[in-house]
Amino acid sequence: MNFRQLEVLRTLLATGSTIAAAKTMGLSQSGVSRLLQQLEEELSLTLFARDKGRLIATPEAMKLAEDAEHILLGIDRFTNLAQDLRSGAVGPEVVRIGLPNSMSETFAPAMLADYAKDFPGVRVETFFDTTVAIARLVEQRIIDFGFLRYEGQLSAGLEMQPVATGLSVCVMEKGHTLSQHETVTPKELRGVPLILIGRRRPTRVMLDEIFRKAGVPQKVKIETHSNSSACAYAAYGLGVAIISSFFANLHRHLPIEIRPFSPHLTQDFGVATAAGVPLSLAAQAMIDCLKRQVAASQQP
């Protein structure tokens, strides 16, 4: 197996045909087909179903694509490092960080602007993804560190520095009737359209249990998988979102009201680094900058 075969897998998933993949990769159509056939033979798996000239990815292909992407990112990093070495390491140092998607709009720009004041020559690469994906990128040393939600037991390959804690809150549009309450409970949310984060997350499981014990059926209007979208939906009056105060505070620029939810759920957040791997001065300075920005974002 070689990285060119993995590139074919990634490109076919994106384009859906060997013709389009060939154009994207600068190969012949037969060359793409040959690489795909070799990959399927080496894996003893069918990765695409053929249907009237179209390629339909199998579930196995979708699963393998996740790891293939991380491998290709690692190869890209290796290639870039080799280029720096060939040039005599005269280029700027690179710091690679992973952040949740919901920190991309306002938090990350403010943090990087602060960082650039003291480290203008450092190149920064940002990865926005889920907690699970960020943890994997840290373990594989594709990124220097990641900011993520702590969800219990950590992998032995990670070290965690606690940074912040959030409590469950209700986010609603300005002037919502529930904004009259100092605290919102399941009782007040009976019959109210809800915006909830994906049901597979541990906090969602606990939230569902709170409503069940209270005897209040949830009226779920929207299920989403990012806190930023939950806040935006709430701002447009689509429902009341129940999320961590940490993320709600990052979106106070929106026309929203935030009220504590009771009984509250707690979420812890921190910086994850690869166990036993020292950080560069530039990466450590970025962590310090992140901590300052977190503290500022959570001020009343």
Interacting residues of 176 by C-beta distance below 8 A, sequence separation 6+: 237, 240, 257
Mean pLDDT of the chain: 90
* Contact predicate 163/147, CB 8 Å: yes
What is the average per-residue pLDDT within 117-146? Answer: 91
pLDDT digits (tens, 9 = 90+) for 168-191: 999 999 999 999 999 999 999 999
Q: CA-CA distance, 12 to 49, in Å (whole number)?
A: 12
What is the average per-residue pLDDT within 79-105? Answer: 74
Amino acid identity for residue 86 in this structure: R
- Considering the entire predicted model, what is its pTM? 0.71
Residue 194 β-bridge partners: 220, 240
pLDDT at 77: 82
Q: pLDDT tier at 84 (50, 70, 90 boundaries)?
A: low
What is the average per-residue pLDDT within 255-270? Answer: 96
What is the average per-residue pLDDT within 27-36? Answer: 90
Q: CA-CA distance, 75 to 1, in Å (whole number)?
A: 14
* Contact predicate 225/198, CB 8 Å: yes
| Residue 76 pLDDT > 90 | no
89-164+268-297 and 166-267 have identical folds: yes
Place of tokens 């920064």: 124
Amino acid identity for residue 148 in this structure: L
Interacting residues of 184 by C-beta distance below 8 A, sequence separation 6+: 170, 178, 240, 259, 260, 261, 262
Interacting residues of 218 by C-beta distance below 8 A, sequence separation 6+: 189, 194, 196, 208, 211
Amino acid identity for residue 137 in this structure: L
Instruction: Name the nearest CA neighbour of 263 among 181, 175, 169, 197.
Output: 169
Secondary structure letter of residue 277 according to DSSP: -
| Residue 66 pLDDT > 90 | no
Token pair, residue 103, equals: 């920190």
CATH of domain 3-83: 1.10.10.10
What is the average per-residue pLDDT within 269-277? Answer: 95
Q: Where is average pLDDT lowest: 36-40, 184-188, 191-195, 210-214?
A: 36-40
What is the average per-residue pLDDT within 65-79? Answer: 85
| Residue 86 pLDDT > 70 | no
CATH of domain 166-267: 3.40.190.290
What is the average per-residue pLDDT within 148-174? Answer: 90
Domain 89-164+268-297 of CATH type 3.40.190.10? yes
Instruction: Name the nearest CA neighbour of 230 among 186, 173, 293.
Output: 173
| Residue 195 pLDDT > 60 | yes
Q: Hey, is 128 helix, strand or coil? A: strand
Q: Where is average pLDDT lowest: 67-71, 245-249, 271-275?
A: 67-71
**Hey, where are the domains in the chain?**
3-83, 89-164+268-297, 166-267
Q: CA-CA distance, 183 to 204, in Å (whole number)?
A: 19
| Residue 85 pLDDT > 60 | no
pLDDT at 87: 41
